[in-house]
């Protein structure tokens, strides 16, 4: 069954968020802030299947992650991707029935 694989790197997510929402900080300043955060960033691979099922893998531990374990930015990413998938699927069905 075909799947859409998407890699989510939490540090990159926050970097992009900071760049998009700050016109006064330089990229160097943003990198410095992220480096000083001293946190272990999530690195996940999401596999979205055409039938709506999902698999999530932690790239650091090579273990499966359940949807209930997602938090913060990873959960936000999942919700946005799921909404994109639903919209795309509905659009495809509308075009097929027209």
Instruction: Give how many domains the chain has, as a whole number.
Output: 1
Give the structural domain span for 85.
Answer: 3-97
β partners of residue 14: none
Sign of torsion over alpha carbons 27, 28, 29, 33: positive
The distance from CA 83 to its chain's CA centroid, rounded to whole angstroms, is 12
Per-residue pLDDT of the chain (98 residues; tens, 9 = 90+): 778 899 999 999 999 999 999 888 888 999 999 989 877 899 999 999 888 899 999 999 999 999 999 999 999 999 999 999 889 888 988 888 86
Q: Does the pTM of the predicted model rise above 0.75? A: yes
């Amino acid at each position: 069954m075909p799947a859409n694989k998407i890699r989510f790197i939490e540090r990159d997510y926050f970097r992009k968020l900071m760049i998009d929402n700050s016109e006064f900080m330089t990229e160097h300043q943003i990198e410095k802030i992220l480096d000083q955060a001293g946190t272990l960033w999530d690195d996940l691979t999401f596999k979205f299947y055409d039938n709506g099922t999902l698999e999530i893998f932690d790239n650091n531990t090579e273990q499966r992650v359940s949807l209930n374990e997602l938090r913060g930015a990873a959960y936000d990413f999942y919700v946005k991707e799921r909404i994109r998938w639903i919209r795309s699927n509905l659009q495809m069905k509308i075009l097929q029935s027209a």
